[in-house]
Amino acid sequence: MKEHLQKVTGLDVYQASISPVGDVTYFLARRGSEKLVGSVGAGKIVGQKVGSLGGKDVIVAPTDAANAAAIRSALPWTAPKCLGLATSVGLGDRLGLATPGHIRAVRGTGLAPILAQQSIREMTRTVRKPQQVMDCATWGVLQEGFRDGFGSDADHVQKLEDLDAVVAAGFTMFTIDPGPHVVNDADRLDPTALKQRYQAMDFSGLETTADALRSCYAGKEFKLAGGSSVSFDETELLRAAIKYGGAVAHVVKAFRKLKSMAGRPFELEASVDETESVTSPAEHYFFAAELKRLGVTWVSMAPRLVGRFEKGVDYIGDLNEFRRSFAQHVAVMRTLGPYKISIHSGSDKFSVYPIIAELTGGLVHLKTAGTSWLEAVRAVARIDPALFREIYDFARGRYETDKASYHVSADIAKVPPASALSDKQLPDVLDDFHTRQVLHVTFGSVLTADDGKRFRNRFYAALQRDEEVHYAALVKHIGRHVAPFARNR
Ligand SMILES: [Zn+2]
């Protein structure tokens, strides 16, 4: 089939994409750096007739939004679905080019991949729209002929109005981030100040009163699965309520809005991972128990875990302390759930993966994004060293500015200028702690410099010219992420 298709269309056809359904066969192909979708027989896509095969018209069409929707409708496995409690890995693809590499990394591991995943913040920084994120995942899935099913995650949605565009784009999971409603200061208030703040709280969003909420928790002990427990004295309850009460109310609002507008099955994740203050197991209990009382259902939750989950590097902290604390979070999850514990900034946290995999028994979602960007940069270092040097020096200059909204601690003095490195050394600088963080947080600046004219277009061109180099880098690096969680080890 492939040879015949190539002959008729003059295109490079992706063998794995050839998908018969009824009397139509769809396929994905490329011409240079351009991807095209085709059909043999009159299918749902709209394009040009370029010839015929076995008495049927052969159509070649652009990979635009309308044809992506047509492919999702014709081949339902190219559309995202709800994944439930399946062990899952989120593979953010900021460029829209990584999905084939991501699929090859997870295929056969038993993990369910989330292939369309981008936060509103990342979309702003990469100048992409939710629909593009979704469509790129669809084309990647078609290219690889990946029929096992995949999820989608509208990540870190903070404003309720941002839900409109991601719902319209067909996302199936929504990560609600009530971070701006978390009162980090609560950790530092003394008992008198806590009382005042508590009395001044607005309880309407929690559909309760100060007294009623207090009597639900204060002075109570709650047994957890596995035999441990969490308890609240008066002060601990006030602190938990002040810290997370507004956040609970916000998640409730988002859930209800989704329910009224989605009109189809959807999943919700609640994440407070980007807050400054660590979520204690008791606070996790309060947050989850309140969501439950208010009728929210969720598939995963991301507490702010102990230690430092910095971008693009391994966990920084005491592994014994992590294990102790994480075990309690898991106990809360098993008591009030089950749901998955979602590990945000999950890229490159190799030292804690075995602990997480063991304690959750698979009730886990590992969320990554930046690490795939870094693998794209590594691929560019191999494909176009000169371009890499320019980007690298530019990123060095941007780091101090761009790091503001990230948890990073790289020392720019430890990142030598490109002129100090040989071409052979370039891909390996991506293994250095400091260089990784510098290249990680500057992705938006790199992609948008001079409206994309400076680097973006050449960056895409390099990866598209030699896509197998990009995929190979992803398979190797993402493979290390999924291995500790894989069921068929
Ligand atoms: Zn996050």
Which pLDDT does position 488 carry in this prediction? 52
d(CA 342, CA 379): 29
Residue 227 clears pLDDT 90, i.e. is over it: yes
**pLDDT tens-digit readout, 175-214:** 999 999 999 999 999 999 999 999 999 999 999 999 999 9
pLDDT band at 275 (very low <50, low <70, confident <90, very high): confident
Cα three-residue angle 228-233-236, rounded to 5 degrees = 90
**Averaged confidence pLDDT in the chain:** 96
CA of 382 from ligand 1 middle (Å) equals 30
Q: How many angstroms separate the alpha carbon of residue 352 from the centre of ligand 1?
A: 17
> What value does the mean pLDDT take over residues 103-127?
95
Indicate the pairing of strand 364-368 with strand 340-343. parallel
- Express as a percent the part of the chain with pLDDT over 70: 100
Q: How far does the centroid of ligand 1 lie from the alpha carbon of residue 271, in Å? A: 7
Res. 262: pLDDT tops 90: no
Tens of pLDDT, residue by residue over 364-402, are 999 999 999 999 999 999 999 999 999 999 999 999 999
Mean pLDDT of 23-51: 96
CA of 421 from ligand 1 middle (Å) equals: 33
Distance 314 CA to ligand 1 centre (A): 16
Q: How far is the CA of 302 from the centre of ligand 1 (A)?
A: 8
State mean pLDDT over 302-320.
Answer: 96
Rounded to the nearest 10 degrees, what angle do helices 281-293 and 319-336 cross at?
A: 20
CA of 34 to the centre of ligand 1 (A): 33
| 158 and 179 Cβ atoms separated by less than 8 Å | yes
pLDDT at 489 over 80: no
The pLDDT tens digits of the residues spanning 65-107 come to: 999 999 999 999 999 999 999 999 999 999 999 999 999 999 9
Q: Is 269 a catalytic residue?
A: yes
Q: Cβ distance 241 to 312 under 8 Å?
A: no
Q: Is the pLDDT of residue 405 over 90?
A: no
- Cα 299 to Cα 100, 118, 176, 336, distances in angstroms: 26, 18, 12, 12
Annotated catalytic residue, options 155, 162, 283, 290: 155
Which listed residue (162, 177, 267, 269) is catalytic?
A: 269
